[in-house]
C-alpha cells in the first residue's frame, strides 16, 4: 500500500473540528464504526469519525451523495454491521474512502449533502462494527515473551516454536465488548505457592494486555490458504484491544492446553477501525535478527520486508477511584510501538490459514501483547511490576501490583511521521467491577 492524495498533510476539511491539531480524526484518517443516536431506538448503521462528528453513511447513501462503486459501498454501510462492506474488498474500501475525502475536502464547492449527514460524536452510542464470528489471539512480541519467561524460568529462554511461527489460541467471542465496558472480576481455580490443593474464588491478579485488534475484511475458502504476499488485502483495518487476563487463574490452568477461564471473561475493543489505507504512510522496515531462524517460505515475502512493520504508538494509563475523586488525569503506565512485533500482520494471516482454516469477514485477530525492549514499554502489569514483586507507585499515593476494583484501564494509539498528519485510534476504556462470589 502506498500513500496517495488522501494522506496530504496540507489537506483541510470544511468541517473545522477536523482541522484541530488535537483531534485523532483528521480528514486523512476516516476510521469506520457503527453507531446510532444515544437514547433512541434507531438501528445501528455504519459511520466514519471526522473531527468531533460522525459521518452517517446510511444518510449519505439515502441522499445519493456518491456514484458507482462508492455508492454501492455506502449502501452496504447502511446496515447494522459492516460485514457486507468488508466483504466487498479493497477496491470498494478505497473507493468509499476517496469519495468521503472529496466530499469533506475544504476545496469542495457544495458541501450541503455532507453537512446534512453529520451527527455529533458526543450524542451517539456505538455498536459492534461487525458481527465477529471467530476470534484468535496471537502471541507475537519477542520482548513480551522474554519478559514473561524471565519471571517463570531462570534461564529466560523463549520456547523454540516462537521464532518459527506466530503462536496463537482461539478466544471467546461472546464476552467481547466495546470501550466503556464494565469488566466483572472473574472467578476460578488458583493454586497458591506451596499449596497441594487448589482453591476457588475471585481473581487476585487481574491484568490488562495492550494489543491491536486485526479486523478481517475478505475471507478465504475452507481448505484454501492465503499467501503471505497478498495477506494484507484480506485485512480491513485495526483497532485497540485490551486482552484482560486473570494471571493467578492462568498460571494454574494453562498447562497443558493454554488459556481458558483466565481469558474468556472479557475482551475490550475501541469502537473505531482505522483502515489499512489510512496507515500507509506510517510503514517501516520489518527486520529479523540475523542469528534468529529466518521465516519458512510460506511466511516469507522479501519484497514486503521494507514496509511490513507499522509504527503505531500505543500507551496505557490507569485511572483509580482516587483519580476520579480528586479530578486527576489517568496515570500513564507505559508507551510503546507496534513496530517492535516479531511477526507481521501478513504472517499472522498466512499462518492462520496454512492448515485450511477459512477466515470470514468480520473475524477478529488479536496481535498479542505489544511490548518494547525497555521496561517502560511493557504492555502488561505482570511485566511492569515483575509479577507483583515491584508494585507501581501512583501520583495519588496508591500502589498497584495488579488491578483493583474501581480501576479503569485507558488505552490510546496514534501514528505520526514528518510530512504526514497525525492520526489516532481514539480511546479504549474499561472499568473493573467487583466479582460476584458468595
3-class secondary-structure state, position 305: coil
Single residue among 127, 146, 167 that ends a domain in this structure: 127
pLDDT value, residue 110: 66
**Claim to verify: residue 143 and residue 121 sit in the same structural domain:** no
Which of 88, 105, 127 is a domain's end point? Answer: 127
Identify the residue whose cell numbers are 469542495: 108
CA distance 374 to 337: 11
Q: Based on the domain organization, do 245 and 104 belong to the same domain?
A: no
pLDDT one-digit tens code per residue, 348-406: 999 999 999 999 999 999 999 999 999 999 999 999 999 999 999 999 999 999 999 99
Residues 236 and 359 in one domain: yes
CB-CB contact of 245 with 207 (8 Å): yes
pLDDT digits (tens, 9 = 90+) for 263-295: 999 999 999 999 999 999 999 999 899 999 999
- Length reported for the chain: 438
How many percent of the chain have pLDDT more than 90?
91
Of 36, 38, 59, 57, the closest CA to residue 48 belongs to 57
Does residue 438 lie within any of the structural domains? no
Note every long-range contact of 189-192, with CB atoms under 8 Å and residues 24 or more positions apart, other chains counting: 189/249, 189/252, 189/253, 189/261, 190/248, 190/249, 190/251, 190/252, 191/251, 191/252
Q: HEC profile for 376-408?
A: HHCCCHHHHCCCCCCCEECCCCCEECCCCCCCE
| pLDDT recorded at residue 152 | 77
Does residue 143 share a domain with residue 68?
Answer: no
Task: Check residue 176 and give its pLDDT.
Answer: 98
Task: Report whether pLDDT(167) > 90.
Answer: yes
The one catalytic residue in 7, 98, 126, 144 is 144
What's the mean pLDDT in 82-91? 98
Residues 199 and 343 reside in one and the same domain? yes
Looking at the fold, whether 122 and 146 belong to one and the same domain comes out as no
Average pLDDT over all residues of the chain? 96
All cell numbers assigned to 227: 499467501
Please give the tally of structural domains in the chain.
2
Residues 328 and 257 in one domain: yes
Q: Is residue 24 part of a domain?
A: yes
Q: Single out the residue in 100, 127, 154 at which a domain terminates.
A: 127
115 shares its domain with 22: yes
What does the pLDDT look like over 310-327, one tens digit per residue?
999 999 999 999 999 999
- Residue 76: domain span: 5-127
Residue 426 lies in a domain: yes
Over the range 57-78, which residues count as b (16 or more CB within 10 Å of their CB) and which as e?
Answer: bbbbbeeebbeebbbbbbbbbb
Q: Assess whether 144 carries a catalytic annotation.
A: yes
**Residue 356, CB half-sphere, CA atoms under 13 Å: how many?**
2
Neighbouring-strand partners of residue 213 = 239, 366
- The rounded percent of the chain whose pLDDT value lies above 70 is 99
- CATH number of 59's domain: 2.30.30.230
pTM of the model: 0.97
CB atoms < 10 A from the CB of 267, how many? 27
Amino acid at each position: 500500500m502506498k500513500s496517495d492524495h488522501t494522506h496530504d498533510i496540507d489537506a483541510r476539511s470544511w468541517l473545522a473540528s477536523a482541522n484541530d491539531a488535537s483531534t485523532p480524526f483528521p480528514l486523512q484518517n476516516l476510521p469506520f464504526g457503527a453507531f446510532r443516536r444515544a437514547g433512541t431506538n434507531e438501528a445501528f448503521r455504519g459511520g466514519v469519525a471526522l473531527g468531533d462528528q460522525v459521518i452517517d453513511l446510511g444518510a449519505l447513501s439515502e441522499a445519493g451523495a456518491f456514484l458507482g462503486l462508492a455508492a454501492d459501498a455506502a449502501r452496504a454501510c447502511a446496515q447494522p454491521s459492516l460485514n457486507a462492506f468488508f466483504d466487498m474488498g479493497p477496491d470498494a474500501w478505497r473507493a468509499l474512502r476517496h469519495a468521503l475525502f472529496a466530499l469533506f475536502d475544504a476545496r469542495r464547492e457544495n458541501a450541503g449533502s455532507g453537512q446534512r449527514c453529520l451527527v455529533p460524536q458526543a450524542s451517539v452510542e456505538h455498536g459492534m462494527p461487525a458481527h465477529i464470528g471467530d476470534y484468535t489471539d496471537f502471541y507475537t512480541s519477542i520482548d513480551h515473551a522474554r519478559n514473561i519467561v524471565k519471571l517463570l524460568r531462570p534461564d529466560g529462554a523463549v520456547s523454540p516454536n516462537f521464532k518459527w511461527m506466530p503462536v496463537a489460541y482461539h478466544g471467546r467471542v461472546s464476552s467481547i465488548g466495546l470501550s466503556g465496558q464494565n469488566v466483572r472480576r472473574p472467578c476460578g481455580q488458583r493454586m497458591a505457592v506451596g499449596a497441594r490443593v487448589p482453591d476457588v474464588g475471585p481473581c487476585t491478579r487481574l491484568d490488562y494486555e495492550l494489543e491491536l485488534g486485526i479486523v478481517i475484511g475478505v475471507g478465504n475458502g475452507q481448505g484454501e490458504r492465503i499467501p503471505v504476499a497478498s495477506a494484507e488485502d484480506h485485512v480491513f483495518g485495526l483497532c485497540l484491544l485490551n486482552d484482560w487476563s486473570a494471571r493467578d487463574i492462568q498460571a494454574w490452568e494453562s498447562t497443558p492446553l493454554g488459556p481458558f477461564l483466565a481469558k474468556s471473561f472479557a475482551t475490550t475493543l475501541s469502537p473505531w477501525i482505522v483502515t489499512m489505507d489510512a496507515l500507509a504512510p506510517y510503514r517501516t522496515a520489518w527486520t529479523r535478527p540475523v542469528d534468529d531462524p529466518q521465516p519458512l517460505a510460506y511466511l516469507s515475502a522479501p519484497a514486503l520486508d521494507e514496509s511490513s512493520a507499522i509504527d503505531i504508538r500505543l500507551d496505557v494509563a490507569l485511572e483509580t477511584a482516587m483519580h476520579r475523586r480528586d479530578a486527576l488525569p489517568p496515570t500513564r503506565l507505559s508507551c510503546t510501538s507496534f513496530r517492535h512485533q516479531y511477526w507481521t500482520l501478513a504472517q499472522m494471516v498466512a499462518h492462520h490459514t496454512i492448515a485450511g482454516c477459512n477466515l470470514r469477514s468480520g473475524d477478529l485477530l488479536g496481535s498479542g501483547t505489544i511490548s518494547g525492549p525497555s521496561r517502560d514499554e511493557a504492555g502488561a502489569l505482570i511485566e511492569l511490576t515483575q509479577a507483583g514483586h515491584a508494585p507501581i507507585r501512583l501520583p495519588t499515593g496508591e500502589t498497584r501490583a495488579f488491578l483493583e476494583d474501581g480501576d479503569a484501564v485507558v488505552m490510546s494509539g496514534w501514528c505520526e511521521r514528518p510530512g504526514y498528519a497525525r492520526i489516532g485510534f481514539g480511546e479504549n476504556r474499561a472499568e473493573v467491577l467487583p466479582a460476584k462470589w458468595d
